Structure 1
Amino acid sequence: MSGKSLSIIFLFVLSCYQSESAEVRDKFIEEKIVPDVLDDIPDIAMLSVNYPSGVTVELGNVLTPTQVKDKPTVEWTKEDGVYYTLLMTDPDAPSREDPSLGEVRHWLVVNINNQDVGETIVEYIGSGPPLDTGLHRYIFLLFKQIEGYTNFDLPFVSDRSLPERVNTSTKELMDNYDLELVAGSFYQAEYDDYVPILFAQLSGKTIKCSTVQ
């Protein structure tokens, strides 16, 4: 392949990345993820997030709690020797109009290497927007750990625990652990019949799963 052909391919890939980055940035600003969750939004890639139910996260599309109840597959291009942090957060608790509970941390995995090996600090839970609280934003953020492998001094939170997830802060997490945002995406969801099942799980109660359609 000639040098001219390689240059054309490089420029095409660069153009696609710039277009994707602009789309992510515009959507994050439009939906006020900046400044609600982030102080600023640099040029970042779109994170690939796919659920076992068959749905895909597509920069603000509306999904149901039933569709996102199971842990998704998240993919990105990994660099050798780089460690990553993956976060999923909901800044709309109890609602977007009254976010008085701060961010709810739905998932946090740190020290992810290029072999997809990482440490789960906050186990995944799906969306649980309370009844009549409208659409919540569920935001996936991928960070590069600037200092490499890091000791995260944070308590482990199981998928049956709620209190430790509430009133968290993405901005503080970034500042405390020197994280650089490199990719992101988000979806929106509101109440459906799966939400009581999730809250029963988090409270340690039992509930019949037959209510899920």
Structure 2
Amino acid sequence: MLRLSHARVFPRSFTAARSLLTTTRLSTDAVAYARPLPPGALPAYDLAVELINGDAAAKRAKVERLHAELEKTGEDVEKTKLEKALEKLEIESEINLPEVRWNFKNGLLDLSKPVHRHMLERSWRNEGRLDKLMERVYQMHVVPDILPELHPTLDLRVNFSLALTSEEVTPLSKSPVNLEDVEPGVFLGPEQTSKPPTLKAQVYHTDTRLYTLLMVDPDVPSPATKSFHTYVHCLMPNIPLSVLETSITLPTSSSDSALQYVPPHPQQGTPYHRYTLLLLPQTSPAPLALSALPSREAFDVRAFVKEHKLDGPGGGIFFWRGVWDESVSKIYQEVLALPEPKYGKPPKFDPYVDEAGNRSRKYI
């Protein structure tokens, strides 16, 4: 009986070319793009490159015509439309070029170029980072507990490693986490967050815009209401950000317009706390002037956002979780200068115990 093999048979020249392409892809020593296959090694590849280059050249010609048309247009709505169309066409003219894709894959980015900005934002939105963030934001009810909704337009990253000692990076009995690029929703020990993190807010607009940063804890117990209230750990308005200006340094001292960073201090006997960073765009180009700094205790995020018109579209969000350990006592003593509270479930009512704690006899 004749048995048919399911293995595919390729021409010898195709096999050799495919091997050469694989070897080239695995090489990480290259510092500049080089065509992976020499002309003639694989005719199909040559035709694909020719087609891509032809399409790019045709679109570049349209870009030149749009540039000339834009120079003749005044400051009006029509000019704004032309600028958007021009940027879209510039992206389309370069996004399929092998060199552009190779540079992006190898981290050789020039964010002054529309195509690199577009690819960076597309990677953030489509390759899992934004999905993981929002999945955990909704799973842990950060939204809607703090704000009714938020649709991020920037990639907010948190780095706690720069200011910590080796002992603080991985305290005893703590599972190690990546403190250089913290994952949303992970547990961090109070020692690991005792110093302000360095933040990177990757926005995708070229112009400089102002943002306000809030760091809040919505899980602080309130004995008066027998519920929880929100505590402000940091408030910082008027942060200038652009695609090339992304670093944020948190204030280490309070001023007329900012509240310094207070390290997380989850109270003993409470469930985990959700330490949340909100980076909200200011709708006005003028700096935000706070008439008075809010109280850290019982802070109303929604009212603050509405009052200062920070409820525009977009922004950024990030959070991690924390629970009490022995190091919290040091924060209360040295940073807050307050007695450390302790919480727990109220004792179960026993009808047979009097006010003095004496149990009455069951039978008389």
Q: Same fold (TM over 0.5)?
A: yes
Equivalent residue letter for 1:37: I
1:128/1:198 contact within 8 Å kept: yes
CA positional deviation for 1:146: 0.9
Question: Of 118, 122, 135, which aligns to 1:15?
Answer: 122
Compared CA separation, residues 145 and 60, structure 1 to 2 (3 A): same
2:217/2:231 contact within 8 Å kept: yes
The answer to whether residue 184 in structure 2 is matched with residue 75 in structure 1 is no
The answer to whether residue 137 in structure 2 is matched with residue 6 in structure 1 is no
* Higher helix residue share: 2
2:152/2:317 contact within 8 Å kept: no
Correspondence for 2:145: 36
1:44/1:184 contact within 8 Å kept: no
Compared CA separation, residues 169 and 110, structure 1 to 2 (3 A): same
Correspondence for 1:87: 214
CA positional deviation for 1:132: 1.9
Correspondence for 2:159: 50
CA positional deviation for 1:5: 6.7
Correspondence for 1:199: 332
Taking the aligned partners of 2:296 and 2:217, their CA distance within structure 1 comes to 10
Matches within 5 A, 1:1-213: 3=56, 6-8=94-96, 10=115, 12-19=119-126, 20-51=129-160, 52-53=163-164, 55=179, 56-77=181-202, 79-94=206-221, 100-114=227-241, 121-148=258-285, 149-155=287-293, 164-179=295-310, 180=312, 181-204=314-337
CA positional deviation for 1:123: 0.8
Q: Deviations over 1:37-84 (max 9, x none)?
A: 010121443311111235243110100001100011111135533111
Equivalent residue letter for 1:151: A
Equivalent residue letter for 2:322: A
2:154/2:202 contact within 8 Å kept: no
Equivalent residue letter for 1:166: E
CA positional deviation for 1:194: 2.0
Equivalent residue letter for 2:298: N
Q: Which runs of 5+ in 2 are unaligned?
A: 1-32, 34-52, 57-91, 102-114, 170-178, 340-364
1:135/1:189 contact within 8 Å kept: yes
* Residue correspondences, number: 198
Correspondence for 1:209: none
Taking the aligned partners of 1:24 and 1:127, their CA distance within structure 2 comes to 21
CA positional deviation for 1:202: 4.8
* TM-score scaled by length of structure 2: 0.48
Taking the aligned partners of 2:226 and 2:184, their CA distance within structure 1 comes to 21
Taking the aligned partners of 2:326 and 2:261, their CA distance within structure 1 comes to 19
Please tell me whether Structure 1 or Structure 2 has the larger radius of gyration of its CA atoms.
2
Compared CA separation, residues 198 and 26, structure 1 to 2 (3 A): same
1:103/1:169 contact within 8 Å kept: yes
Compared CA separation, residues 113 and 12, structure 1 to 2 (3 A): closer
1:92/1:99 contact within 8 Å kept: no
Correspondence for 2:342: none
CA positional deviation for 1:154: 2.8
Compared CA separation, residues 69 and 146, structure 1 to 2 (3 A): same
- Counting aligned pairs with the same residue, the percent is 23
Q: CA RMSD in A?
A: 3.0
CA positional deviation for 1:192: 1.6
Q: Which runs of 5+ in 1 are unaligned?
A: 157-163, 207-213
1:24/1:45 contact within 8 Å kept: no
Taking the aligned partners of 1:81 and 1:5, their CA distance within structure 2 comes to 26
Query: Which gives a bigger RCO, structure 1 or 2 (Cα 8 Å, sep 6+)?
Result: 1
* Higher strand residue share: 1
Equivalent residue letter for 1:70: K
Equivalent residue letter for 1:194: S
Structure 1 window deviating more from structure 2 (128-137 vs 172-181): it is 172-181
CA positional deviation for 1:35: 1.0
